[in-house]
Structure 1
Amino acid sequence: LDGAVTIRFDQPMNQQSVEAAFSAEQASSGRAVSGEFSWPRPDTLIFTPRTTLARQQTYNIRINNNAKSSNGMPLKEPVSLTLQTVGNLEVSQVIPAPGAADVQPDTAVTVLFNRPVVPLVTTAQQANLPQPLTFNPPVSGQGEWISTSIYRFTPDEPLAGGANYEVTIDSALTDVTGGQLERPYFWRFNTLQPEVVGVTPDDGSSGVIPTDPIRIEFNMAMDPASTEAAVSLVGINRTNVPLQSEWQRNNRILVVTPTVQLDLNTSYQIRVSQTATAAGGTSPLAREFTASFKTVPFPAVLRTTPADGETAEQWQRGVSIEFASPMNLADFADRILIEPTPKNVHTFYSTPSQYLNIDFAYEPSTEYTVIIPGDAADPYGNTLGRDYRFSFRSPDGPPIASFNLPSLISQLSTSFETQVNIVHRNVPRIDVALYNLGLPLNLLGRPYEVTDYLPSANPIRTWQITPDTPRNQADSTSLSLADGGSLPTGAYLLTLNAPGLESDARYWQNQQNLLIIADTNIVVKEMFGNVYVWATDIRTGQPVNGRSLTLYNQQGVQLAAAVTDQNGFAAFPYDGGR
């Protein structure tokens, strides 16, 4: 309001002509504003009003075209400026908002003004700044200007729950320019009533440990004395259980622990009456709170896996036992009897716990009996009372029919009888088929496709084997593929199948095999510009001289031919790109 107006021209000016052409007036009244001129530079005019300008008013400043430059040139066009003076201090926003309901009692009260009220100071200088808020009912606390125009008030204690508050800002408060509020500013809000927002154990819980604490959480800080007096734990016999109390999270969470052990297999109700009040003791609980739970039952076996009388699945191992309540497993786990006694037994548990796992591999088709001693006890001294026993049968061993050959690809020589062994168990018959594949470059290049390969031609020979091996006993049967002789050299697919085999058994049993009948073993080495081959006789192990060799690519296209020398060695020219 007492500031000056600075106008800068694009060139040095004739000062007398500019001052004569200058005028300033208040827009609403048309009243002229007088002042002093100064020229800090030949092209810069400063106009300082002789009196303070009015607040929140519009002023017009004009310089007509009689103003000239120092070389006598007039203004190209008149200059016209409109200025707005600073207004009164206003409240822009308050938190909590006017009329806000269910405000958290531990909230801070914040006011945002439309302009700076205090200068920028250090924290140590805050004590000398204005404290603009008045509370009804009164609230003690600490106020802080967190910026020049934002004030925050933090109560020393949480506000009373369920209470109505009125906050006033006196109109005597001024901003840094001296502007005041036009009138006192006030607003109202009310705080949340105290309530229970959670309890552990949950309402309706069962299997609760009788010595576990009970955790009650409120939506605000509570008065410890009235709240502890309002909490009760009642059993089915309507007798109050004595409790020990502990507060957490600034009196928002009350943890009560029974000082006597609760009865087993009994329902209890936790109750918080409306006499519990929020911190400060002014607002009672919004409504009475109750929750019920039931303690763990007496010791019993709830379920077993496998179940009594059940036949276990092929994938199962050992036994799992679930008790109705936590047990001291360490005291009796090693005294559980399993008949017949299995090998390599491993027991897994934590104590006290409801779950016990005893791991061992089953013998096929065996009746097992498990006996849990009757003195197996829970942590409170209660026992099963008598031995618990259950029986189950292990499954037969999984069916097996598998060639006793290397996986996927095998090689046999014509120097010996073409014979294969088949390992089998729990299969009534084995169907074997032999296919002539010619030159199966796709399978030779991608042997992993042998397992799922489906030949398009009919087999050149089939066999059906009927094992007479006892149930669950593995055995091996020899099969001659050429009636005591040897198959001609070539590539063959040998397959088998048997009733009862799982479809995925082909991935872990050797049920399809690419059988190569050949008398020559070759070692191949690819190097820059050449492919080198060393050929030896399978029967004698000696190098093969004069053996014709052909090199193919993966598409079956012939690339080159060569003949082995007296050392069984041959070389193909090859650039690697084919």
Structure 2
Amino acid sequence: MEPANSRFPLFWIVLIIGVVVIAAAAAIFYFLDRQNTVNANSDSHPTFIDSPDSNTGITAVVEQGFGDNGNDDGDQPFVIHLSDGTAQDQDEEPIPQADTTPLSEAEIQEILARLPALQVAPGDQVEFKLPGDPIPPPRPGQTIEQPFPIDPQERSPDEVASGPLQVLRYAPEGEVPIAPTINITFNQPMVPLGTLTQLAEEDVPVEVEPDIPGTWNWVGTRTLRFNFDSDQIDRLPMATQFNVTVPAGTRSAVGGTLADSVSWNFRTPPPSITQSYPNYGPQELEPFIFILFDQRIDPPSVLESITATADGQPFSLSLADQELYAEDEDISRMTENAPEGRWMVLSPDEPLPKDSEIQITVGAETPSAEGPLTTSKEQSFGFFTYPPLKVESHTCSWYSSDELCYPLSPFYIRFNNPLDPELYDDSMLSINPSIPGATVSIVENTITISGATQGSTTYRVTIDGALTDIFGQELGREEKLTFRVGKAEPVLFGPDDNLVTIDPASKSPILSLYTINYNRLDVKVYSVVPDDWPDFLTYLQEFYRTDQPGNPPGQLVMDQRLEVDAEDDQLTEVGIDLSEVIEGDYGHFIVLVSPPKGFFEEDRYWEKLNIWVQVTQIGLDAFSDQDELIVWATELQNGAPIEEIAIQSDSRSIQTVTNTDGITKFDIPSEGILYLTAQRGQDIAFLPRSTYFYGDERWQSISEVDDLVWYVFDDRAMYRPEEEVHV
């Protein structure tokens, strides 16, 4: 008998060898399986990143997070780039114009003579009837005729307790950005009730320095308002210190006396720049310089306080000739929109040096044309003149790493100056190897090359030295740029909507999807009817909420792994043929498509497509207002209306047929309508109110509600709390 300890090492050796073999087999299986799959992302929802604005447009990036391996090598953002389009050169043959000869007057009359005489029927010509006087609108209450103002001889005013007169409030006060009027309110009536003419003749118990032309108006009997008289501005002058005094001894209309004088002051600001141009670059060497202020100015006086430098070296400016700057589109637009008397246009006396930083300074002590106050500090702005034309950068996206581009992403070539698209032709740019469907567009300082770029390919772009900017400068020498396109990440995408109608002209009911770098897909197809739509929406809600929705409604009629014959890095169309599962020529299906899941990987639900597909020849549209729904049924093949087709709502409360125009109209039921169906034999078309899966969107009857709208205004702009207001 063999000792137990002699068998013990052999047992463990065999066990360890078995574990190693199993682990090696699992690793090989995992490696082979992973070749056809893509790393699962850890994020459950995509992240949206806005790119910075640029002259070439706007870029939006959608990133899906990081892969299981802890780095971002397996993640590729989805990029949307929007920019202004430019027309592409096309070789078109002009349509030949026929040679024509105008008809003579005699020939025209000969043609008109063939027309039958115009028959005048009785009643065609009648005298014009003016409408009668409108019925006067009813007036509530009783109209009392009484002269105003009342004759003092007929009625004497009631005795009013006077007391001391006080100034309750005044405005404006202190430093204010703008002063429309001067307002003063007393605690007692200062004038009797009367007409505006009578009130205008009353003495004004207020002194204002400086003495400026204006009009005092009584707003009621206690509030006095001063308006500056001017045909140039509708407010008090700027750049002015105002002192206002109500003298002691001022008497009210009821006998009250002001014991002490009331004085205050306010100050409007000196000139301030509100707009300047240019304030960026590059600019011409003899630019027009536009400056807009917040008040009226005297341009020659302001010019004396302005200094200008180019790279620190001073240069002189003059007021620009109106005939010259009127031809400049930008300057002309700004002067037309600017308030009169508040702006000035300057130009340098000599051309500015190229590639120089220009600084324009409006110095302290700058005067105003409205008041005596001057500015206390400098105000500056700047721009730069154009440099020699050169390539500044070339890339395919701002987030690219290791200078690798993604397949199908555009190439961007940025210059330091805006280019002249009118002087560009296709011979100035070449691409090797060529890009299928390549288009070249120029927007400002950027050339964009778009097309079907191939993965794992290096492109060389050559720019001719004759390329010209808007300043007439040529590039001067040939530029050779390299763009390296990396391998595309696997991707699967299909229709944007959850509901798709198969092309009625298609010979077979095929749902088209698109993939890159997937060689197989898992496909499941469920046969459904329109009544399954609510359950499908619930399935979608659970799918996006938990990523484990279970099975969709309907009967499973297809469950297969579809092999995709595609080249690496090539966008490939994949057709899901429903003819194998359809009964007859029509039907409804839920199609689920996803990349196959690796043995050791989680389900990549974010790449899964869930699509309701209907195969029909019926087109169904619906239009609604507050309480009615109009349904229109047409042939998808040719748009002809379909007569006598059965229309039904989801609750079956509406069951009707269309008229000869393919239209039916009915009141929206109280429960609303989630979806409509149109049936002709075995063909059923389906139209939901919305394909959005969150919420229960229905066609609803909406009762009309009257809105109460009112407008509140304040003639004095100074009502106090707890005042009694009469309108």
Post-superposition CA distance 1:452-481 (Å, at most 9, x none): 7799xxxxxxxx9x99998668999xxxxx
Give the Cα–Cα distance (whole angstroms) in 1 for the partners of residues 392 and 570 of structure 2.
Answer: 36
More helix by share: 2
Give the Cα–Cα distance (whole angstroms) in 2 for the partners of residues 401 and 160 of structure 1.
Answer: 68
2:437 aligned with 1:344: yes
SS at match of 1:110: strand
Aligned-pair identity (%): 21
Give the alignment's TM-score, normalised by structure 2: 0.42
Which fold has the larger relative contact order, with Cα–Cα distance below 8 Å and residues 6 or more apart in sequence? Answer: 2
Where does structure 2 lack aligned partners over 5 or more consecutive residues?
1-155, 323-334, 494-513, 523-531, 551-560, 574-592, 612-649, 651-727
2:189 aligned with 1:116: yes
Change in 2 beyond 3 A, CA 1:180/1:85 = closer
Equivalent positions of 1:438-517 (< 5 A) are 496-497=596-597, 503=604, 506-507=607-608
Question: Which of residues 234, 239, 251 in structure 1 aligns to 2:315?
Answer: 239
- For 2:433, give the aligned amino acid: P
Match of 1:373 in 2: 464
Match of 2:484 in 1: 393
Contact 2:162 2:188 in 1 (8 A): no
More strand by share: 1
Question: Which of residues 405, 415, 439 in structure 2 aligns to 1:312?
Answer: 405
SS at match of 1:225: helix
- For 2:263, give the aligned amino acid: W
Cα deviation for residue 319 of structure 1 reads 1.5
Question: Which of residues 226, 234, 243 in structure 2 aligns to 1:153?
Answer: 226
- For 1:128, give the aligned amino acid: E
SS at match of 1:330: helix
Contact 1:343 1:360 in 2 (8 A): yes
Equivalent positions of 1:426-437 (< 5 A) are none
Give the Cα–Cα distance (whole angstroms) in 2 for the partners of residues 400 and 255 of structure 1.
Answer: 57
Match of 1:354 in 2: 445
Contact 1:322 1:354 in 2 (8 A): yes
Give the Cα–Cα distance (whole angstroms) in 2 for the partners of residues 425 and 497 of structure 1.
Answer: 16
Post-superposition CA distance 1:364-407 (Å, at most 9, x none): 433322222212222221121112221223334555899xxxxx
Post-superposition CA distance 1:211-252 (Å, at most 9, x none): 665444545443443113322333234221444289743544
- For 1:127, give the aligned amino acid: A
- For 2:205, give the aligned amino acid: P
SS at match of 1:226: helix
Give the Cα–Cα distance (whole angstroms) in 2 for the partners of residues 331 and 264 of structure 1.
Answer: 22
Cα deviation for residue 107 of structure 1 reads 4.1
Match of 2:417 in 1: 325
Contact 1:231 1:272 in 2 (8 A): yes
- For 2:228, give the aligned amino acid: P
Equivalent positions of 1:65-84 (< 5 A) are none
Change in 2 beyond 3 A, CA 1:141/1:381 = same
SS at match of 1:386: coil
Change in 2 beyond 3 A, CA 1:210/1:122 = farther
Change in 2 beyond 3 A, CA 1:148/1:369 = same
2:206 aligned with 1:133: yes
Change in 2 beyond 3 A, CA 1:392/1:119 = same
Choose 1 or 2 for highest CA Rg.
Answer: 1
- For 1:85, give the aligned amino acid: A
Cα deviation for residue 258 of structure 1 reads 4.9
Change in 2 beyond 3 A, CA 1:131/1:206 = same
2:265 aligned with 1:189: yes
Where does structure 1 lack aligned partners over 5 or more consecutive residues?
1-51, 56-83, 403-422, 433-441, 456-463, 477-492, 511-527, 529-578
Give the Cα–Cα distance (whole angstroms) in 1 for the partners of residues 217 and 572 of structure 2.
Answer: 91
Post-superposition CA distance 1:68-96 (Å, at most 9, x none): xxxxxxxxxxxxxxxx8222433211213
Contact 2:278 2:290 in 1 (8 A): no
Contact 1:92 1:114 in 2 (8 A): yes
Contact 1:109 1:152 in 2 (8 A): yes
SS at match of 2:388: coil
Match of 2:252 in 1: 175
Contact 1:401 1:497 in 2 (8 A): no
Question: Which of residues 243, 249, 257 in structure 2 aligns to 1:166?
Answer: 243
Change in 2 beyond 3 A, CA 1:392/1:202 = same
Superposed CA RMSD in Å reads 5.3
- For 2:379, give the aligned amino acid: F
- For 2:372, give the aligned amino acid: T
SS at match of 2:168: strand
Question: Which of residues 60, 78, 90 in structure 1 aligns to 2:166?
Answer: 90
